[in-house]
Amino acid sequence: MRRNTPMTSPPATAPEAELKQGAITFLDALVIGLASTSPAYSLAAVIGPVVALVGVYAPGVLLASFVPMLLIASAFYYLNKVDQDCGTTFSWVTRALGPWFGWIGGWAIAMTGVLVIGSLADVAVRFGLLTVGLDSWTENTALVVTLAAAVIVVMTAVCVLGTEISARFQNVLILAQVVSLLVFAGVALGRAIAGDSPLDAITPSFSWLNPFGEGGAALTAGLLLGVFVYWGWESAVNLTEETQDSASAPGRAGIFSTVVLLVTYLAVAFAVVAFAGTTFLTDNEGEEEQIFALLGEQVLGGWDWVLLLSVATSALASTQTTIIPASRTGLSMARRAALPKRLAHISPRFRTPDVSTWVVAGIAIGWYVLANVISENALFDSLTALSLLIAFYYSLTGIACAVYYRRQLLRSVRNFLLIGLGPVVGAGLLIWLLVRSIGDLNDPEASSSGTTWFGMGPPLVIGIAIFLIGTVVMIGWRLRDGTFWRERPSTAPEGATTP
């Protein structure tokens, strides 16, 4: 006779790991938003070219460039209130405009990271070597590329180990960076006003804030450069699922970071133009990234390492934080079946998207090494192509905001201005800059290599190639798995605009 045995149910499947909610605070998100823009490096890269275009009105151009950024930041704030998804633009545009626009918007975000991460690590290595007096090492390309690849690996590991660790690391780096910049700006401005500058100092004037001082054509060209220095603040919103008070804190952090950047950029721009004059900045054309290295010794003497350290920490911080938007976007796309499911894996131990983070880093390293093998100019041309991707997905987000909230725009003046008109105007300005950028980038003389690829300027070819590859991948994945493409556009729920 068989003994009855109790029935046992099959073991329950362990729940999948999720991103760690409440891992960082509003202040942490703000710092990450600031760090992602790489303020010191961005200023070093554009201050010379902007001055060459508009002279002493460089602060005015940086002020004008801030306007579309603030308007798009408003769109990020209100869209995040109704959808706290780490995919940001990808998720929001999908909700408002449908899966096709959403997918290509997500692709643009991911590709900006791929293009710029290697360059940021490269700058971190070069300025780090300059800081410690190893100037000759920066001439060894193989050494710099190897060290830069190692930096990317280390920064990726920090991202994977936990969002809290990333935030603490960024807090230290942003403090060193901002303090160094403010010390430099204060000393430079003080010496310029006191007449103690060895260069062609100019007495600062509030008239420098006029962006129209050199005319419309110069302003347009300057704005194309100015928008670049603000790009990256939205990394704070990519961490929305991991931030305390996720419905409002990440969006506020994005807006606050653009304002802090504006103040920092205006202070440094005034100081640099006043201390060095326009001639020094324009005479060093082709040395844009080294301009702070050249000015540091003039302003700070033996303390020039402070400014070099600022640029090094700026690029190092941004190397890490630029990985965040690309990896979180990959995670968001994968869990909605817009990309392979494997990219949606979250580490059970660290609660971070480990697979997508390492994939982004691996592709970025591959592109960085390949670009250096082709030529150093190819790397610079790929950075120039960033303006196309940035203007595209920012403008797409602004339009998505107005479309998603379209049934609530006329319910109050605030709704109409902040959710409708503002984001649309910001998107319109960026689309205008995008069109102008296409024309400028088509000029081979405007590229670093000065040659043509397929009859066009290399930056334009790179930009077009990225969108074409994205389109092919999108259509290919649609044919393989149509799940994501069954999603349909919707509108914001009632009460979504309530503060």
pLDDT tens digits for range 35-69:
888 787 788 777 877 887 788 888 998 998 899 99
Instruction: Give the pLDDT confidence of 88-106 residue by residue, as tens digits.
Output: 999 999 999 999 999 999 9
- Greater model confidence, 123 or 98: 98
- Greater model confidence, 437 or 26: 26
Looking at the predicted structure, is the pLDDT value of residue 378 above 90?
Answer: no
Contact 351, 23 (CB under 8 A): yes
Average pLDDT of the chain to the nearest whole number: 84
Predicted confidence at residue 218, as pLDDT, reads 62
Instruction: Give the pLDDT confidence of 346-370 residue by residue, as tens digits.
Output: 998 888 899 999 999 999 999 999 8
Residue 58 is assigned to a structural domain of this protein:
yes
Residue 4 is assigned to a structural domain of this protein:
no
Predicted confidence at residue 36, as pLDDT, reads 83
Encoded tokens for 27: 């202040």
User: CA triplet 463, 467, 473: central angle to 5 degrees?
Assistant: 145
Looking at the predicted structure, is the pLDDT value of residue 233 above 90?
Answer: no
Residue 143 is assigned to a structural domain of this protein:
yes
Predicted confidence at residue 373, as pLDDT, reads 82
| Residue 12 banded pLDDT, cuts 50, 70, 90 | very low
Looking at the predicted structure, is the pLDDT value of residue 146 above 90?
Answer: yes
Predicted confidence at residue 379, as pLDDT, reads 72
CATH classification at residue 117: 1.20.1740.10
Residue type, 130: L
Contact 310, 181 (CB under 8 A): yes
What single-letter DSSP state applies at residue 419? I
The percentage of the chain sitting over the pLDDT mark of 90, rounded to a whole number, equals 35
The terminus-to-terminus CA distance of the chain in angstroms comes to 72
- Greater model confidence, 218 or 257: 257
Name the nearest CA neighbour of 218 among 62, 69, 63, 61: 61
Task: Please tell me the total count of domains within the chain.
Answer: 1
Instruction: Give the pLDDT confidence of 219-230 residue by residue, as tens digits.
Output: 776 777 777 788
Residue with tokens 């704030």: 77
Based on C-alpha coordinates, what's the Rg of the chain? Answer: 23
Task: Using CA atoms of 157, 161, 162, 166 in order, give the dihedral in degrees to the nearest 10.
Answer: -40
Residue 191 is assigned to a structural domain of this protein:
yes
Residue 386 is assigned to a structural domain of this protein:
no
Predicted confidence at residue 284, as pLDDT, reads 59
Looking at the predicted structure, is the pLDDT value of residue 399 above 60?
Answer: yes
Residue 142 is assigned to a structural domain of this protein:
yes
At 482, is the secondary structure helix, strand, or coil?
Answer: coil
How many other C-beta atoms lie within 10 A of the C-beta of residue 216? 9
Instruction: Give the pLDDT confidence of 306-315 residue by residue, as tens digits.
Output: 777 778 888 8
Domain that holds residue 367: 26-377
Looking at the predicted structure, is the pLDDT value of residue 271 above 70?
Answer: yes
Instruction: Give the pLDDT confidence of 413-450 residue by residue, as tens digits.
Output: 999 999 999 999 999 999 988 888 787 777 776 666 66
Contact 170, 32 (CB under 8 A): yes
**C-alpha 173, offset from chain centre:** 17
- Give the residues across from 24 on adjacent strands: 243
What single-letter DSSP state applies at residue 346? -
Predicted confidence at residue 290, as pLDDT, reads 63
Span 137-156, mean pLDDT? 92
Residue 322 is assigned to a structural domain of this protein:
yes
Span 231-238, mean pLDDT? 88
Predicted confidence at residue 9, as pLDDT, reads 39
Residue 390 is assigned to a structural domain of this protein:
no
Q: For the ranges 129-138, 255-264, 290-299, which has the lowest average pLDDT? A: 290-299
Residue 110 CA: distances (Å) to CA of 327, 363, 381, 389, 415: 7, 10, 18, 10, 31
At 480, is the secondary structure helix, strand, or coil?
Answer: helix
